[in-house]
Amino acid sequence: MANLVRFEPIREMVRMSDAMDRLFENFYGRGWRDNDLFDIPSVDMYQTENDIVVKASLPGMKAEDIQISVVGDVLTLRGEMKADEEVKEASYHIRERRSGSFSRSMPLPSAVQSDKAKAEFENGVLTLTLPKAEELRPKTITVKAK
């Protein structure tokens, strides 16, 4: 029996738009659109046996301009990049360095103890170590022979 699929032109237009976005991202790299250059920082998240580790690239930022919060199972990074003073007597040929605020929220893969979290900021990379909740850590049970 053949399945009939209803033609929906709007869905096809959205698919085409997504395909074009992927094409430009593959060709020009992430951030080809003007508003994507600094809006969302690049993040790596992985977990070890006892911790969830998050590394975020925040070049040019200062540690005091970064806020981190954990509410439930959602981690939120916020910050603001201060603008450099504009040189009035010059005409810019290229001006790509961004300023302004950003916010990125992401779900955590498991419950954490946010009160025991550690955050380090070095060379533009924020490293956040969140210990997993005790009940989620693997426990070793020894077997006693009789």
User: Is 1 part of a structural domain of the chain?
Assistant: no
Structure confidence at residue 37 (pLDDT): 45
Residues 45 and 104 in one domain: yes
User: Is 129 part of a structural domain of the chain?
Assistant: yes
SS3 content of the chain, % helix, strand, coil (to 5): 20, 35, 45
Residues 104 and 42 in one domain: yes
Domain of 12? 8-35
Are residues 47 and 132 in contact, defined by beta-carbon separation less than 8 angstroms? yes
What CATH number corresponds to the domain at position 48? 2.60.40.790
Number of domains in the chain: 2
Predicted confidence band of residue 125 (pLDDT cuts 50, 70, 90): very high
- pTM score over 0.75: no
User: Is 94 part of a structural domain of the chain?
Assistant: no
Q: Which of 121, 142, 137 is nearest to 68 (CA)?
A: 121
- Res 71 pLDDT > 80: yes
Residues 47 and 21 in one domain: no
Interval 93-113: pLDDT, tens: 777 777 788 888 999 998 999
Residues 17 and 80 in one domain: no
Residues 44 and 55 in one domain: yes
User: Is 50 part of a structural domain of the chain?
Assistant: yes
Measured CA to CA, the distance from residue 104 to residue 95 in angstroms comes to 24
Cβ neighbourhood burial of 41 (10 Å; 0-12, 13-18, 19+): middle
User: Is 69 part of a structural domain of the chain?
Assistant: yes
Residues 73 and 131 in one domain: yes
User: Is 140 part of a structural domain of the chain?
Assistant: no
